[in-house]
């Protein structure tokens, strides 16, 4: 998960590309994050999403 301040995003795989998607998070503890909404059971999620961006990257969120 990538925290953008007011929004949290994850990167999901769609058509052989990873795209950002807004999620709603709950509790966070010991390196685990509860995702309340924004994911489905079939979504493939990037583990290290920060590697998918450059330092000046702008994220356009799928809602």
Q: Is the pTM of this model over 0.75?
A: no
Residue 54 has pLDDT above 80, yes or no: no
Q: Which residue has the higher pLDDT, 57 or 34?
A: 34
Residue 1's pLDDT band (cuts 50, 70, 90): confident
11-50, pLDDT tens digit by residue? 898 888 888 889 999 999 998 899 999 998 899 988 876 6
Q: Which residue has the higher pLDDT, 18 or 57?
A: 18
Domains along the chain with CATH numbers: 2-52 (2.40.420.20)
DSSP-derived 3-state class of residue 51: helix
**Residues 14, 22, 43, CA angle at the centre, nearest 5°?**
35
Residue whose C-alpha is closest to residue 21's, from 13, 32, 30, 33: 13
Q: HSE of 36 in the Cβ direction (CA atoms, 13 Å)?
A: 6
């Amino acid at each position: 998960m990538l925290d953008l301040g007011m929004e949290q995003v994850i990167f999901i795989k769609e058509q052989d590309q990873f795209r950002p998607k807004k999620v709603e998070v709950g509790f966070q503890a010991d390196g685990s994050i509860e995702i309340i909404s924004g994911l489905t059971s079939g979504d493939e999620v990037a583990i290290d999403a920060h590697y998918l961006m450059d330092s000046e990257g702008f994220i356009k969120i799928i809602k």
